């Protein structure tokens, strides 16, 4: 029986099926065919591998906000806590592992010198593709 389970896992891995609790996300913006920002994030359990592939400014500015779970959030309250912000900058081509992620979070990335603040301020937690991870 354990050979059958091992064979099924092998076939699934060859088909590109990732394990439980993993998610990949790419953020890419182009202007006139030129990448303004291109960033990739892969999340496994509570660790995110964040890579700044390319940026017009040479740096990707990241902002990570912890978000409340739907049952614990007060009615009418914002979904993410601005006091629980982690901010960092990566050079183009660099990557960073971020461990200890909250159960729900929102990750924003920007290419400009003002960082990713404007993007995070205008997005709601419900619209972020990474909320819930």
Q: What is the pLDDT along the chain (133 residues), one digit of tens a residue?
A: 777 777 777 776 666 655 556 788 888 888 888 888 899 999 888 888 999 999 988 999 988 888 877 665 555 455 676 666 788 899 999 999 988 888 788 888 888 766 565 556 655 444 455 544 4
pLDDT confidence of residue 47: 87
- Asked, for residue 78, whether it belongs to a domain, the answer is yes
- Asked, for residue 1, whether it belongs to a domain, the answer is no
- Asked, for residue 13, whether it belongs to a domain, the answer is no
| CA of residue 92 relative to chain centroid, distance | 17
3-state secondary structure the chain: CHHHHHHHHHHHHHCCCCCCCEEEEEEEEEECCEEEEEEEEEEECCEEEEEEEEECCCEEEEEEEEECCCCCCCCCCCCEEEEEEEEEEEECCCEEEEECCCCCEEEEEECCCCCCHHHHHHCCCCCCCCCCC
- Asked, for residue 129, whether it belongs to a domain, the answer is no
Task: Determine contact, residues 28/35, Cβ cutoff 8 Å.
Answer: yes
Query: What residues make up the domain containing 85?
Result: 21-122
Task: Determine contact, residues 117/79, Cβ cutoff 8 Å.
Answer: no
Total domain count for the chain?
1
Note if the pTM is more than 0.75: no
Task: Determine contact, residues 105/51, Cβ cutoff 8 Å.
Answer: no
The CA-CA-CA angle for residues 83, 48, 12, to 5°, reads 145
pLDDT confidence of residue 39: 93
- Asked, for residue 8, whether it belongs to a domain, the answer is no
- Asked, for residue 3, whether it belongs to a domain, the answer is no
- Asked, for residue 6, whether it belongs to a domain, the answer is no
pLDDT confidence of residue 95: 94
- Asked, for residue 102, whether it belongs to a domain, the answer is yes
């Amino acid at each position: 029986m354990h050979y059958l389970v091992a064979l099924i896992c092998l076939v699934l891995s060859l088909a590109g099926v990732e394990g439980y609790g993993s998610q990949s996300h790419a953020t890419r913006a182009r202007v006139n065919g030129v990448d303004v920002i291109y960033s990739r994030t892969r999340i496994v359990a509570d660790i995110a591998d964040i890579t700044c592939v390319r940026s017009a400014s040479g740096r990707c500015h990241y902002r990570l906000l912890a978000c409340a779970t739907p049952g614990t959030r007060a009615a009418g309250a914002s979904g993410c806590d601005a006091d629980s912000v982690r901010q960092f900058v990566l050079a183009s081509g660099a990557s960073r592992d971020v461990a200890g992620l909250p159960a729900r979070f929102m990750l924003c990335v920007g290419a400009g010198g003002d960082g990713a603040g404007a993007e995070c301020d205008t997005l709601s937690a419900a619209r972020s593709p990474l909320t819930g991870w």
